[in-house]
Each structure stands twice: as C-alpha cells, then as structure tokens.
Structure 1
Amino acid sequence: MNKIDPELRYTLEAVRQFEDEGAANPTTGSLGPMARNIASQYRRDTLSPVMVMGMLRLSEFAVFALAGALMYFYYVGPQTHLYWEYAVAIPAGSLGAVVLLEFAHAYHIGALRASLRFAGRIALVWSATFALMALAGFFLKNSAEFSRLWFAGWYLSGLLGILALRFVMSRLIRRWARNGTMERRAVIVGGGGAAESLIRSLERQPYNDIRICGIFDDRDDKRSPPIVAGYPKLGTVSELLEFARIARIDMLIVSLPISAEARVLSMLKRLWVLPVDIRLSAHSSALRFRPRSYSFIGSVPLLDIFDKPINDWDSVAKRIFDIVFSLLGIVLFAPVMIATAIAIKLDSKGPVLFRQKRHGFNNEVIEVLKFRSMYSEQCDPTAKMAVTKDDPRVTRVGRVIRKTSIDELPQFFNALVGSLSLVGPRPHAVAAQSHNLLYNEVVDGYFARHRVKPGVTGWAQINGWRGEVDTDEKIKMRTEYDLHYIENWSLWFDLKILFLTPVRLLKTDSAY
C-alpha cells in the first residue's frame, strides 16, 4: 500500500492553523510554514530502486561466481589441465543465471518483498542455467572432463547462497520502505477530483514505492479543496519550485486532464527547470498512446514528459569520471598551481585562494575556489560588477592567470569533493547580472541549467561563450549551449569537452 506520513494527514483545522500562522509571520517567505516543515522532513537523499536492483544483480553474480570458485578450489584445485575452461565456465554460468533471472522478472520490488513466494522461480532459473551449461558441454564434447562433484557442489552452494541473499534483501527492503530510506517521493500538481482519483489508484497498487509528499495547485480552496484524499494542499505551483529546492523530490505528477492544454502547458513551462521526473497522469484519459510513451506505477499509466537528467547509474559513472580525472588533473598541474600560489603571494597582499558563492545543482549555493586575481580589498564575491578589459582591480599576476584560465585550476578540488563536476554548465555567482538584471531575469528558463551539477568546464565555454558577459545575447547563448549539453549528455560527450578545453582556451579574446 502507498505510504502516508502521519504528519501529512492534517485535519482541515490544522491546515487553516498553519495558514493563519503564515499570514501572521510574513518572514517565512512565499512557502508556507506547513509546506516548509514537510519539505525539511525530506531533505536527505533516498536509495533509488533502480540502483538497489543494479547492486542486487552485481551481488548475485558475485554469489554465483564465488560459489563456483570455492567449489573449484575445494574439489578440483588449480593443478587441473582444464584451468582455463573452469575460469570461463564459472563467470559465464553466473552471468547466464543473472540474465535468465532478468527474463523471469525476478528483479523488481515485488519479487524481493515476497522472497519465499519467488524461491521456486529462482530455483527453476538456476536449474535451467545448469541444464544449458550441461548442454553446452555436450556439444563441445568436453562435459566428461569436468568434475561432477564440482558441478553438483556449485549448484547446491549457489542456490543456497542466492536464497540467503534474497531473504536478507527482503528484510532490508521492508525496513527501508518503513523508514523512508528507499522510496520515490512524488508531488501531485493539480488538486480536486482528478488528484483524488489518482491518489486512490496509487494507493491500491501492491508493493508501491511512491511516497506522496503533498499537493500543489494554483486554484483557490473553493475550486481545489485544501485536503485531498488525506493530503494537504501545500501551496501554488510557484511555491512548488521553492519546495523542490528544499526537499529531495523524485517525481512531479500533473493530475490535469490532457484536454486542458493551456493549463498543462502553463504548468510545464514553470516546472521543467526542476531536476525531477515530470509525468502527466493518464489513468482517467480515454486517449491511448504507444506503450513506450508511458511509465507505470503498478498498473497506473503516466505519460513521460521530462526525465531527470544524469540519473541513477549515469550519475555513478559521471562521479567516477570526476574523481579519476580530477586526481589526474591535480597531479599534472601541481607544479603550475604551486608556482601560481607563490607568484600571487609575491605580487600582492592577501590570501592565495578566492572563495565565491555560486549557484550549484538545483540552485543550491556552493563555494567555488579560484586563485585570487584581484587586489584583496577590491575583490567582488557577489560578482555584481563584471571584470572588464584593463580592469584596475585585477593584479599583474591576475591578468595572466585569468587570460590563461589558470585561476580556475583549484576547482579540481571542488570536483574531487563533489560540489562541482569536471564538465557541466559553468556556475555563475549568485548575484551575477547583465545590465542590472539577474541572469534569470534575462533568460527564460535560466534555472534549467541547474538541473545537473555545474562544471569546471562546459560545452558553452569551448564554443567561445566564456569571459565577460557584457550583452544579454551572451548569457542567452551560454544558457542555450548548457541546455544542449544537458539534453545530450554522455560520458563520450564529457571526454570530448574535457580534451577540447585546453585547445579552445588558446582563444582568449573575451577573457580578462
């Protein structure tokens, strides 16, 4: 059944009490105190079911392979003339079992929760794997050379191993589901009868991992009740943006009829800047699209509108990429960074490093490191005044390191600890402006570039959009290239940008 927090099942009187408190305390900001309180409960990250299933596949492969290897060393030993045949058979059989379990739909939450009910299917798959291996040995005419004791021992130990692992995982998943460690957090956008019908349908789904955090709707209480199916209306769609900056939300489900085109498009235009999956409820619609257009929560169909970029295993691959190449960059550029630090100290008074507050992932404020390139008493942490050509605030050493981008080298450490990525949209200072307007006031959808972690270098920079932002066109083009990068991300794309960066930095016309 769907999980409902006691904190969310407010009575109508409790909701009105929170609204009254918000009216009496305007310092709380646009997000009401009840919504802010609920958002704070969801600050910590959760385990992604996709990641858990991926780790289970790897773990089961390891269990199968370890069982085969242990039986090999116990019954056969490395002195056998079939050393390489065993070395191939063990991982091949283990991989084959994992693939067959995938086809048997053994890797989903329901299968893990009901581990005893799926024990027979798992035993059948493991038996089929050994039947296929025996058949392969028959056709290769070498089955008689393999140890029968090893074969039987591997079968029994592997079966016992996976059943024990499944039992442990079943207990863990039940515990994680209870304490909120593994769940998908969803917000319903749009209230009234459509939202209630959607929530009731979700609650009827078995083994549901969705936790509904609340409802947001622009309509007033007359057209959209303050409580729907036991969940409070937490605010408007505009306030949802602030809610999603605080809480770790995975999914927004828009519960509006597809026929309400104007309202749907209006909401999506405001919501697509968030780093979440956005789905349109289709359970009550008579329209039917191709199956690949839908995702499902149990049997409830949802139209896929936007997907969270660089998610799950992609994020793991990108983090490994950042760690490896950051360490490599720190080692390679260590002499340059040491020499730069000494030159800065000799050239002017003040610290070697300059720390600046910038917008990070999901609009979080992060601290970015740079070599100090200005006189310390004239540094501008807010970046309200952009550096221009022959700017008197820049030191002699500063002109050189800014021109060559050496001042950015300390950001390898940002990428190593995880506040930045090596490749991504370049982070801008929180108060950066173009003609006295903040960048988000100049570019519609500017904050969509924060759907991924910002980078030390990016697609916009290697295409010439770096340096001084003295026209609105420049920040618009930067944003356009950043959004192109987000929509087309791959590790190969990151490698291309990373290796092109030193070449493109030779063009320094707009770097002051």
Structure 2
Amino acid sequence: MTKHVPMGEMRQSQDRRRITLPLAPPLEQRRLQLYIGLLLIDGAAIMGGLCIASWLYLGRFLDTESLVHGQVLLPIYWTIALSLQVYTLQALRRINFARARAVLSLIGAESALLFVGFATKSTEDFSRVSAFLGLALAMLLLVWLRSLLRPLIKARCGDAGINILLIDDGGAALRVPNAYHIDAREHHLAPDLSDPHMMDRLGLYMMNMDRVMVSCPTDRRSSWALVFKSANVSGEIVDTDVNRLGVIGARRERDYGALIVASGPLGLRARAVKRGLDLALAGSAVLALSPLLLIVALLIKLEDGGPVFFVQKRTGRGNRFFPIFKFRSMRAEKLDAAGARSASKDDDRITRIGRFIRGTSIDELPQIFNVIRGEMSIVGPRPHAIGSLAGDKLFWEVDHRYWLRHSLKPGLTGLAQVRGLRGATDTETDLANRLQADLEYLDGWTIWRDIKIIVNTVSVLVHDRAF
C-alpha cells in the first residue's frame, strides 16, 4: 500500500506541517534477524523430519543413524540454500520462491550425500526407508513452517521488505507501491549543496531508507546525484526516457556515458541449452516421422504433380531473411510467395490433401529441417511472410514493437499458438494479441517454459483456425 507523507503521525503546528523523523524504522537489522531465524528453523525442520521418520519406522525418536544423517546433511543444505538465495530479500518477499528454493536445496543436499555415501560404501548400515521418509517429512515441514512465518515476516518488514522513499521535486508524476511519498516543495526540501543545514534535513528524511528516488527537472539532476552519493543511500533519479527507450542498464567510459538499450535476450549458456534441446527433438522427430513425411510427400505429388515443398522467404532472427520449408497445400499456380493473402475457410487455392495437412498442422513438419539448419527453434515466435496483413496494414505498421519478435530464432510453436492465437489476421486486434504473447515469451526465457509450451502444443495441433 502506498504511504503518503504527511501521514497519521504528522501534526499541525501553526501554519506549517511537522513530521516525526526518521520516517521509517531500520529494516536491515530486522532482515538479518529473519535470515538467521529462518536458517535455524530450516535446520530444525530437517532434523525434526528425520527424527519423526525414525520414530514412525524404527520406534526411536533420537535414533543414532538419523542424528548422524542430519548432522552431515545440514551443512550441505545450508551451503546450497545460501547459493540458491533461500536467505535473501527475494525469499522474504515471495513465499513460493522461498519454499521452492528450500525444497530444491534439500533435494540437492540429499543427492550429494547419497553420491558420497555410494562412492565410499558408507550407507550400508543406514535404513533407506527411514532416510527417504525423513526427507519427505523434512520437505513438508520446510514448506509448512515458511507458511506459518509469513505473517511474522510481513509484520517485521512489510510487504516490500525494504524502505522506499520517493521525493517529488517537480518532475514526472509517479506512484510507487509501498513507498513513502514526499513533496519536496511542501516539506521545503531542495538539493542545496551550499547549505549544510539543508543537507542535514535531507539526511534525516533519507535515514533508514534502503532505496531513495527523486523525480525532478533535468537541471536539478546533478545536484540530487551529489546528494545521494554523499548520503550513503541507494539513490535513483526518475527518467521517463528509460521506459520509452527500454533501457536495461548504463555504461560509464572515460570520455562518455551511454544507456544500454539492448543486449540480446539469451546469454551463451542459455543459447547452448536451447540449441541442444532443438537438435535433440528435431533429430528424433526426423527419425520418428520419416514414414509420415514420405507418405505426405507422395500424396502431394500424386494429386497434381506439382512440387512437394512450398519455400517462402520469412524474417528470422536479427531481422534476416531465411527460406522456410512447408508441405505445399495450395495449387502450384496459385501460390502466394509474399503471403499478402491469408488463407480462409473456403479458400479455393487449397488442395484436397492440403486441407487435411493444414487442419492437422502436418504442413508445418518440414520446418524440422529449418531447426536442424539453425534457422529456427522448436519454440519461439512464429515467422511471418513479408507481405502479411492485419486488416489492411502490414504487421510492423500496426505496432513497431513487432520487430522485437526477431531477437530470438522463430519457432515451430510458441506461446501465442498454445493460447489459440493462430490462423488469419483479419483485424489489427488479431495481430496485437499475438504480438503481446510473443513479447511475453521473450521476457525471461527458461528451458522449463519451452518444455511446457512443447507439451501444450500437442493439444492444439488440430484447430479450427487452420484453413
């Protein structure tokens, strides 16, 4: 909830508003206390789970083997948990993040312990049933205790987990959730570097703040920047160009500074993982679907004697053209290389076999070879023909963000497709909905999202928008 200052603690004195400073209590020490408390509670949950399992299975609560198991397991768990950010601000703010990372840390710790035990042959005397039951109970206790502690965390640190101050000094209007909002003019605040008394007042307002923001005119930014640097706070100056340009960072060099507006959506490791998945699936698909591919090719050839494949120029990664392969589904003399006319339900250009393979998405299967060639991926924004229209406008004329789709390789399927956003783009809204899904896919890629989209694609292979 946004906090407006003056607030309830303010009181009127003559014609001037007064407030109690500092505005917020210090949260850094509270967060540290919570981290230590959660670390100890996690340890208690793991030891408790192992001991309860020992009592249920062996009839002994403080069984020696379970205690040894826990004593060895805990340091490994804490090490992995620290690396997976189980004891961080993000874990305090997002309970599902904290629970998932804690469970993952426990699984990782137990896996490491089992590997060492197997390699050293030191697990022969341990009860495997008791150990795995204890692991399951420890997971349940970890999740349950995190849920129980959520009200305490919120009471100690609030929803945001940090103190945020936004100073309005005549710049762009802005509201930040869970922040203290101050009007600089109302509170007689200014970045006056020549006045030590003003600097002291500013320091009192910013005391205990984890993050301080100011919205001000351009000519006051340098002064506010010096105030922040001298006040030992994390200071930010609001700039509307950051959103307009899509700035993702800044670079300072000796003779110049620059705003970073693009870096590519995937790093080297992510590209390698995605490419590995593409090759594994596409290679397997070629082997498994070879009989189907040959039968469809033969049927297309027998129907009218024309070419088996339809090859069309599409825009791919980096806005570069590539030839996309599809089974030909239209009459050879009526092929539309530019893609200016979208197929319709009663399209007279479509052949008999073409109608079947379009309705079942079989016509798209040759794009497996585009994946193997590295021009496409299994999952990504679908590539469009250059002349494709939404209503009476070219796609990029509807929304210039359309070009952002090409920062990744185009895909056989994508988030838009599994949401049912396929077929002809009769209106600008049809394109807008698809574009929104594609941009959502670009934001925060993970291999697990790709796998989920691949699984969901199976349910939309046959659809009523395929003409």
Return the TM-score normalized by structure 2. Answer: 0.47
Higher RCO, 1 or 2 (CA under 8 Å, sep at least 6)? 1
Structure number with larger C-alpha Rg: 2
Return the TM-score normalized by structure 1. Answer: 0.43
